[in-house]
Amino acid sequence: MKRKYTFSIIMFILFEMIAITLWLTKDNLFYMLNFSYIGTCLALGTALFTAGKNYARHFVQLAVGSYMLLYLGIISQENMQIEGFWYYLFLGTFEAATIHYAIAKIFGPLIFGRGWCGYACWTAMILDFLPFKRPQKPRVKKLGILRYVMFVCSLALVSGLFLMKVAHLEKIMFYLFLLGNAFYYIVGIALAYI
């Protein structure tokens, strides 16, 4: 029985190691609470998945996705999108967006595979509950280039804002977070019902 849940235990231990390391090196209790919460939710979700529970992914998406969207994004006003990553990277600070991209977009997928990010994503949290049809034909492969276009456009936008020395840049990053998420949700919901 224990062997069945080994992955969940490893997931929990991995996140606790990250939590303790960041808490001690940054001398900030937030990191301990943040990564302990996310690790516990992910470990519980993977245990539920291993036990064959159909709601496992939705549990993790709601628990982690709503925490990241509502608390980190809206209440703490941190841009957790790619623009926020570039912003904090250019500032040279180690904030939620840089941590998010390191764990969710780089190291997580390298270790756990492509589905890693969508398992706790705040965008997928909403869009996965929408009615969607299975496509009859394969997707158009040419659209995959859009992710690279968005990556470059985000870099260009934040670089331009920094180069122009725009005032109130942190507030602009927050509004970009809100607008970006609203755009994703509107487009996703519209596509689900087309």
Query: What is the model's pTM?
Result: 0.82
The answer to whether position 23 is within a domain reads no
Among candidates 185, 179, 163, which has minimal Cα distance to 86? 163
Q: What is the mean pLDDT of residues 166-185?
A: 92
Question: Domain limits at 155?
Answer: 55-193
Confidence grade of residue 96 (pLDDT, cut at 50, 70, 90): confident
Confidence grade of residue 114 (pLDDT, cut at 50, 70, 90): low
The answer to whether position 124 is within a domain reads yes
Cα–Cα distance for residue pair 143/86, rounded to 1 Å: 24
The answer to whether position 19 is within a domain reads no
The answer to whether position 29 is within a domain reads no
The count of residues in the chain is: 194
The answer to whether position 33 is within a domain reads no
Task: Give just the sign of the alpha carbon dihedral 129, 132, 135, 139.
Answer: negative
The answer to whether position 144 is within a domain reads yes
Domains held by the chain: number = 1
The answer to whether position 22 is within a domain reads no
